[in-house]
Structure 1
Amino acid sequence: MNIFGKLIIIGGAVDKGSFTETDFDKSAAKNLNFFETGILKRIIDESKYNELSRIEVVTTASKIPKEIGPEYLKALSYLDANNVDVLDIVTREQASDPIILERLKAADVVMFTGGDQLRLTSILGGTPFHDILLEKYRNEDFIYAGTSAGAAAASNNMIYQGSSSEALLKGEVKITSGLGLIDDVVIDTHFVQRGRIGRLFQAVVGNPKVLGIGLGEDTGLLITNGRQMEAIGSGLVILVDGRKIKDTNLTEVELGQPISISHLVTHVMSKYDTFDLDTYKMTIKSSQYI
Structure 2
Amino acid sequence: MIPAGRLLIIGNTKCTPHLDITPQKTGYPLLSPDILHCLAKEKDDRIEIIVSDARSDSFKKECRDALTETGFSNFDFLHIHDLNLPDEDYYLKRLSKAKTIFFVGDQSRTYDILKRSGIIRFLYRKYMFDSGFTIAGMSLGALCIPGIMLVGREDSSSGMIPGLGFLTHCIVDSQFVHKTRFEKLASTVIQHREFLGLGLGSDTALIIEKGWFASCRGTGTIMVINARNVKKESNESSVYVKNLKGRILINGCTINLMNGEVA
- Same structural fold, with TM-score higher than 0.5 when normalized by the shorter chain: yes
| Cα distance in 2 between the residues matched to 1:131 and 1:82 | 28
Unaligned segments of structure 1, at least 5 residues: 15-21, 250-257, 284-290
**Aligned residues of 2:84 and 2:116 also touching (Cα < 8 A):** no
Aligned partner (choices 66, 80, 92) of residue 89 of structure 1: 80
TM-score of the pair, normalised by structure 1 = 0.80
SS at match of 1:155: coil
SS at match of 1:51: coil
Query: Percent same amino acid among aligned pairs?
Result: 26
1:52-71 to structure 2, matched below 5 A, reads: 52-60=44-52, 62-64=53-55, 66-71=57-62
Residues 30 and 53 (structure 1), Cα distance of their counterparts in 2 relative to 1, 3 Å cut: closer
Q: CA deviation at 1:195?
A: 3.7
**2:224 matched to which residue of 1?**
239
User: Are 1:104 and 2:109 matched, yes or no?
Assistant: no
Counterpart AA for 1:185 = C
User: Are 1:36 and 2:21 matched, yes or no?
Assistant: no
**Aligned residues of 1:95 and 1:101 also touching (Cα < 8 A):** no
Deviation digits for residues 247-284 of structure 1 (CA, Å, limit 9, x no counterpart): 167xxxxxxxx97433211111000000012343202x
Q: CA deviation at 1:36?
A: 2.6
| Cα distance in 2 between the residues matched to 1:106 and 1:41 | 19
Q: CA deviation at 1:96?
A: 5.2
**Aligned residues of 2:140 and 2:175 also touching (Cα < 8 A):** no
Counterpart AA for 1:59 = V
Unaligned segments of structure 2, at least 5 residues: 23-28
| Cα distance in 2 between the residues matched to 1:136 and 1:34 | 31
User: Are 1:77 and 2:68 matched, yes or no?
Assistant: yes
Counterpart AA for 2:149 = M
Residues 222 and 8 (structure 1), Cα distance of their counterparts in 2 relative to 1, 3 Å cut: same
Aligned partner (choices 135, 160, 173) of residue 144 of structure 1: 135
**Aligned residues of 1:3 and 1:137 also touching (Cα < 8 A):** yes
**1:198 matched to which residue of 2?**
183
- Could you say what the CA RMSD is over the residues aligned between the two structures, in angstroms? 2.2
**1:254 matched to which residue of 2?**
none
Deviation digits for residues 108-144 of structure 1 (CA, Å, limit 9, x no counterpart): 011111x321111111124111111111111112001
Q: CA deviation at 1:217?
A: 1.2
**2:112 matched to which residue of 1?**
122
**1:7 matched to which residue of 2?**
7
**Aligned residues of 1:65 and 1:88 also touching (Cα < 8 A):** no
**1:277 matched to which residue of 2?**
257
Residues 29 and 218 (structure 1), Cα distance of their counterparts in 2 relative to 1, 3 Å cut: closer
| Cα distance in 2 between the residues matched to 1:220 and 1:175 | 22
Deviation digits for residues 150-187 of structure 1 (CA, Å, limit 9, x no counterpart): 21111001112323xxx6xx63x510110100111110
Q: What is the aligned residue count? A: 253
SS at match of 1:42: helix
